[in-house]
Amino acid sequence: MIEENRGEHSEEQGPTLELLTRRLAETPEVFLDEPRIGSSGRVHVAAVVQDLLASLGSPAHPGRLAPFAGSDAGRDRNRLSITLILCWLLADSWFQKERIRENEALELLGEGAADLAKQVASRKFVTDPERREELARLSLSRLGYRPEGETEEQSRDRLMALSSTERARVVRASREAEERSRSIREALRRKAARESADKWTRE
């Protein structure tokens, strides 16, 4: 059942990580099929999301499913493909027995998938062991759980180490820092050249 109103459960223990990574490795082909975008693709992602939420106890209002329709294949395909994989993951019996809040489920399926789609091709979350672990850990974290047998700190540190988004942020920050250093060096070089020119002019 999805519960609309309850306190934070950020420290609650979830299932074993192995349960989720194994499920991701066994993702059926139907959840890896092309998402329907416009007139192309086969799987209507919004319908799959609605079915998932219904199985969890609270069908979403149709208006909340609009982001799962997609309108541009180049922009939306990877994001919606990741949403489908997440739907398969959340259809596991462990989640079916838990009280997952609708807002958190929709944020994971929507914003969570969108963040990942900027960094990783969807199928890697099925075929690559580290990306499977990342998706499993991210899903638990977004829903307010940690893997069974781990402390909250251990769970957070491991997710940070695996995070594709965090890696991209670090690389971006490093590039920006290097660009700032390059700009400063160039400004100092120009200043030195001007001072040298001024010196020769005075003389």
For residues 124 and 31, membership in a common domain is answered with yes
For residues 23 and 46, membership in a common domain is answered with yes
For residues 178 and 127, membership in a common domain is answered with no
For residues 118 and 182, membership in a common domain is answered with no
- The model carries a pTM of 0.77
Whether 139 shows a pLDDT value over 70: the answer reads yes
Model pLDDT for residues 18-51, shown as the tens digit of each residue = 999 999 999 999 999 999 998 899 999 999 999 9
For residues 29 and 129, membership in a common domain is answered with yes
Do the domain assignments include residue 62?
yes
Do the domain assignments include residue 3?
no
Distances (CA, A) of 88 to 143, 158, 179: 15, 23, 42
Number of structural domains found in the chain: 2
Do the domain assignments include residue 140?
yes
Domain, as residue range, for 113: 12-150
